[in-house]
Amino acid sequence: MKQADQRNYRWLRQSLTYALMTAASAGTVLLVTGRSPSQTATRFPYETAQYETIQSEPALTEAPAAVLTSPADESTLLAQANGTERLMGGANFIATAVERVGPAVVRINSARTVTASRRPVIFNDPFFREFFGDMGVPDQPTERIERGTGSGFILNANGIILTNAHVVEGADQVTVTFKDGRELRGEVLGEDPLTDVAVIKVEADNLPVVSIGDSDALRPGEWAIAIGNPLGLDNTVTAGIISATGRTSAQIRVPDKRVQFIQTDAAINPGNSGGPLLNERGEVIGINTAIIGNAQGLGFAIPINQARAIADQLIANGRVEHAYLGIQMRTLTPALKAEINADTRSGLRLQADQGVVILGIARNAPGAQSGLRLGDVILSMNGQTITEADQVQRTVEGTAVGEAIAVTINRGGQTVELSVRPGNYPTEASARR
């Protein structure tokens, strides 16, 4: 090989190596800037294959034409290189978001006194009780202090903080610790167990606050950043993506909640509860609240749009009204229909093929008072066809207490029209403290 050819060969190898390193690095930049990952996926195999061929073959006769085939390829590589330089030059959107939001994330320590009745152990001994009976020995009250730690974030500069209801449930004392080390006594303005949202007030002003995003606009695959205090490790940051939206309470195994959860694979651990879930712009899109045990990458957050609406009611009234009918229901499927019709003890005979079947009604509940019966199959509500139980739940939640809902049902093969009025969910409301 001539000396000039050897120089060209070395130059080509260096150029190819740089091009491949740039392309590999640019994969991250493409995701950050929102370009389709498929564009990267289709380009990498081609460039890598050509690189391996050139490295393994001593001849260079046709290799150059296969690497840079047109000015468009050169400009593409240049754009990717510029994107890589921006990322490596400090344009890290996660760090930027955390620096902006971190000061508004707080640790919440709560303590509550639990009283229980207990008699001395000796009086529970079967031998002792056989001979002496109860002997009028009273139970002895005992008290213990239960402590918990969670997270929260500051909504406004005057000390309004949003967190989970289970973080402060039954708390006698709440302490809020800020990133700068300050500790302030917190007052629980209200808790809503059904959505697991609570509002705390501290006496302070000019506090750092978060920016609020739009959880209704979320799409699976977007970036997700979690900040909180897992296991006492303050201001821990984890990142991932939005894995799904609209996860029902039943799907994530908390059927007593009324939330359409955001699912994320950003790591959430005990102590993260109540902390913010952010988008790539550092806007709060959810409140981290739940994980599924024995699983990885399955964290759940309350959408911020719903949380803000609940918080507004808690701040104004100290409680939240939730419309409910008091029915147990399931989506009707062919298998469920066959099972119910085959059960002679139920006394039910379903004729409808789809809808939502009522399998239980609480005594004196609004549903019963409105004329709903066991075995009724809900076909539509307010003119909207009903095929899933979740649709019924959402319709009721979107209705004010006492407001009429036009319901069409199938009852034993007959179509019946009812006007159903939800009542207020019978939970012990947390009054303003």
**Whole-angstrom distance, CA of residue 265 vs CA of residue 223:** 10
- Identity of the amino acid at 319: R
pLDDT digits over 120-135, tens only? 655 566 655 555 555 5
CA distances in angstroms from 26 to 86, 183, 280, listed in the order given: 10, 44, 18
Q: What band does 301 get if pLDDT is binned at 50, 70 and 90? A: very high
Residue with tokens 């139920």: 346
Joined together, the tokens standing for residue 87 give 């990322």
- Contact, 292 vs 265, CB < 8 A? no
pLDDT digits over 243-270, tens only? 999 998 888 888 778 899 999 999 998 8
- Contact, 414 vs 381, CB < 8 A? no
Residue with tokens 């979107």: 398
pLDDT of residue 5: 57
Q: What band does 344 get if pLDDT is binned at 50, 70 and 90? A: confident
Pick the CATH number of 323-424 from 2.30.42.10, 3.40.50.300, 3.40.605.10, 1.10.150.20: 2.30.42.10
Q: Which residues contact 121 (CB under 8 A, 6 or more apart)?
A: none
From the list 151, 166, 215, 322, the catalytic residue is 166
pLDDT digits over 369-392, tens only? 999 999 999 999 999 999 999 899
In the chain, the N- to C-terminal Cα span, in Å, equals 88
- Contact, 66 vs 46, CB < 8 A? no
Number of residues assigned to the chain: 433
Rg (CA), the chain: 30
From the list 110, 151, 243, 273, the catalytic residue is 273
- Annotated active-site residue 192? The verdict is no
Residue 69 has pLDDT above 50, yes or no: no
Residue 94 has pLDDT above 60, yes or no: yes
356-361 and 327-331 as β-strands: parallel, antiparallel, unpaired?
antiparallel
The CATH architecture assigned to 211-317 reads Beta Barrel (2.40)
- Contact, 297 vs 243, CB < 8 A? yes
Residue 211 CA to chain centroid, in angstroms? Answer: 18
Q: Which of 239, 255, 237 is nearest to 247 (CA)?
A: 255
pLDDT of residue 146: 81
- Annotated active-site residue 15? The verdict is no
Which CATH class for the 101-202 domain? mainly beta
Q: What band does 312 get if pLDDT is binned at 50, 70 and 90? A: very high
Report the C-alpha dihedral over residues 15, 19, 21, 26, rounded to 10 degrees: 160
Half-sphere exposure in the Cβ direction for 57 (13 Å, CA): 12
* 29/408: higher pLDDT: 408
Where are the CATH 2.40.10.10 domain residues in the chain?
Answer: 101-202, 211-317
Query: How would DSSP label each residue in 380-402?
Result: EETTEE--SHHHHHHHHHTS-TT
**Percent over 70 (pLDDT), the chain:** 71
Where are the CATH 2.30.42.10 domain residues in the chain?
Answer: 323-424
- Identity of the amino acid at 157: A
Calculate ∠ Cα 93-94-95, nearest 5°.
95
Q: Which of 142, 144, 126, 146 is nearest to 134 (CA)?
A: 126
From the list 196, 234, 376, 390, the catalytic residue is 196
pLDDT digits over 19-56, tens only? 333 333 333 222 222 333 333 333 323 233 332 333 33
CA distances in angstroms from 44 to 32, 123, 365, 401, listed in the order given: 18, 76, 62, 57
User: Any alpha helices (H) in 34-70, and if so which ranges?
Assistant: 37-56, 63-67
Q: Which of 200, 196, 264 is nearest to 227 (CA)?
A: 264
Q: How many CB atoms lie within 10 A of CB 254?
A: 17
Q: How many CB atoms lie within 10 A of CB 12?
A: 16
Residue 305 has pLDDT above 80, yes or no: yes
- Annotated active-site residue 196? The verdict is yes
CA distances in angstroms from 349 to 6, 345, 374, 389, listed in the order given: 87, 11, 11, 19
Q: Which of 123, 118, 142 is nearest to 134 (CA)?
A: 123
- Contact, 106 vs 154, CB < 8 A? yes
Backbone dihedral region for residue 18 (phi beyond 0: left; psi -120 to 50: alpha; all else: beta): alpha
